[in-house]
Amino acid sequence: MTVLLPFVINSGLNFALGLLIAYFLGPAEFGRYAIGAALIVLLNTALLDWIRLSAVRFYSLKTRETQPEIRATLDVLAAGMTIALSGLLVAAFVVGIDFKLPAMLVAASVAGGICAGLFDYHGAIARARFLDAAYARLIIVKNVLALLLMVGGAWWMRDATVVMFGGVISVMAALLAVRRQLADRPLAWSAARRDLAWSFAVYAVPLVGANAIYSLIPLINRTLLADAHGFAEAGYFSLAADMGLRLFGTLGATLEIVLLREILRLDETKGRRAAQKRIATNLVIVLMVALPVALGLFLVLPAFEKLLVPANFHGHFSAYMVQLLPGFLALTIFVAGLYPVFLLGKRTSMATLAAAFGLAVNLVFVFGAEALLGPERFAIGQAMGLVVVLFITGWAALRALPVWPSGRDIVLTLVALAAMAACVWPLSGRFPPALELLLQGAVGALVYGGLVLAFDIARCRTLLKLWLVTRKMRRAAAGARIEG
């Protein structure tokens, strides 16, 4: 799992980056930054991510030698999309389209979307060629420069546009740092093939559909919230949404990376039924990990807010986070636990359909509950949209599985969660924030982890014993070899 460590480090640094930028920009300017950041994600996901997915699927060490036209086509597509997006931006300014945002902020967002797509594409190339050192350098250079330029820009200029251009420069420098290691040969438009480009699109576009809708929801909510209640309110909402999405997005992606490999291996070696049974088992593991993280964040939220969240976001951050939590939990369970069902069955259109229903639910809350809920309708709508996605995909996935997840393990997980909450909740508000957060985390982990082992949920205690025995045997064998 050499690639997993840079991924987790990257996510953790992005979490800290968001808090620092919010601290220096303040709610209103952070609201503008958050809308620009949502536009970056949407542009990358909807228009460029299909190139990354195609690289993951079709490019490898073997095809690099035997089918150089694959890399040539991918490079031409990346260059072509970059030129097309830049041309569209210039045309939009010439025509005079009103984005309701400063022109330079829009330009920084488009440039950021292009850079994000190129960064993800080159990261996929590095992983496909097992260039772990180059991948780590890509991550490190980008994050170090982002901390210096984006946080420095926020501290010095207090301007969202400066911060976003700092992100653009950090990505460009990271790409230049690994350009030679990741290059196959000079870019040649004539080496690209239209039939390959079409096959890439046919493969990746259904996968991109759902993610594009999920990326559209935050952009819609932040833009409408800023228009109705001001950029400061959009900033309050966006900080909670970004921090929660980074935490639970990293959790879901990490679980997916760890669990999906075994599912695919079983599908290749023992057949579809064995792989589907493993998905049912993995669902318990996903619940066993995701539920305590969500409940734990809810329990420690007062201390977390006092200790880590900028003071001018206090109160607003925790209120929005509580409303958004069910959606973050639903998204994690879907990504790590349910999506492999549709991936194996090549039914990825189900995820896109569910995402469309989720968007519709979000819009119902946004436009239909204005008098009843006020600004919090944006958070509740986003969360309920993701919960609807979980229900739709969960119903379809469980019907497709030959066995269901263990009811015993799920019930015992809920018992362990109740015990954790009973022990952690009384500690709230009794100590300084740092000590309170430390105590709550330690007590929660000990109580929940102890009960998981005691109940042997998902065979955790059995597997731990087996691992300890195996480790002891290996040490004994190594000692015997040394003595011999």
DSSP state of 183: -
pLDDT of residue 399: 92
**How buried is residue 467: exposed, middle or buried, by Cβ count under 10 Å (0-12/13-18/19+)?**
exposed
pLDDT of residue 57: 80
- With a cut of 70, say whether residue 187 has pLDDT above it: no
pLDDT of residue 254: 83
pLDDT of residue 215: 93
Confidence of residue 81 (pLDDT cuts 50, 70, 90): very high
pLDDT of residue 220: 96
And the tokens for 94?
């010439």
Least confident of 366-380, 394-408, 443-457, 470-484: 470-484
Please write the tens of the pLDDT for every residue from 335-381. 999 988 887 877 778 888 999 999 999 999 999 988 888 899 999 99
Residue with tokens 């986070």: 321
Confidence of residue 480 (pLDDT cuts 50, 70, 90): low
Neighbours of 255 (CB within 10 A): 20
Neighbours of 43 (CB within 10 A): 24
Please write the tens of the pLDDT for every residue from 294-309. 999 999 999 999 999 9
pLDDT of residue 56: 81
Question: What average pLDDT does the segment 403-425 reach?
Answer: 96
Confidence of residue 118 (pLDDT cuts 50, 70, 90): very high
pLDDT of residue 278: 93
Nearest one of 359, 350, 347 to 392, comparing CA atoms: 350
- With a cut of 80, say whether residue 394 has pLDDT above it: yes
pLDDT of residue 258: 80
Please write the tens of the pLDDT for every residue from 19-78. 999 999 999 999 999 999 999 999 999 999 999 989 988 898 888 888 889 999 999 999
Least confident of 12-26, 170-184, 254-268: 254-268
Confidence of residue 174 (pLDDT cuts 50, 70, 90): very high
**What are 323-326's contacts with CB under 8 Å, separation 24+?**
323/376, 323/379, 323/380, 323/383, 324/240, 324/241, 324/244, 324/379, 324/382, 324/383, 325/244, 325/294, 325/297, 325/298, 325/383, 326/383, 326/384, 326/386, 326/387
Question: What average pLDDT does the segment 454-467 reach?
Answer: 84
Confidence of residue 477 (pLDDT cuts 50, 70, 90): low
C-alpha 428/C-alpha 262 separation (Å) is 40
- Decide which of 245 and 206 is more confident: 245
What 3-state DSSP class applies to 414?
A: helix
Range picked from 94-103, 371-380, 417-426 for highest mean pLDDT: 417-426
Q: What does the mean pLDDT of the chain come to?
A: 90
Please write the tens of the pLDDT for every residue from 201-242. 988 887 788 889 999 999 999 999 999 999 999 999 999 999
Taking the alpha carbons at both ends of the chain, their separation in whole angstroms is 33
Residue with tokens 């997840």: 405
pLDDT of residue 471: 76
What 3-state DSSP class applies to 406?
A: coil
pLDDT of residue 366: 95
pLDDT of residue 414: 97
Least confident of 45-49, 64-68, 89-93, 469-473: 469-473
pLDDT of residue 327: 97
- With a cut of 70, say whether residue 266 has pLDDT above it: yes
pLDDT of residue 3: 54
Q: Which helix (H) or strand (E) holds 295?
A: helix 272-308
Question: What average pLDDT does the segment 245-265 reach?
Answer: 85
Confidence of residue 106 (pLDDT cuts 50, 70, 90): very high
Question: What average pLDDT does the segment 247-260 reach?
Answer: 85
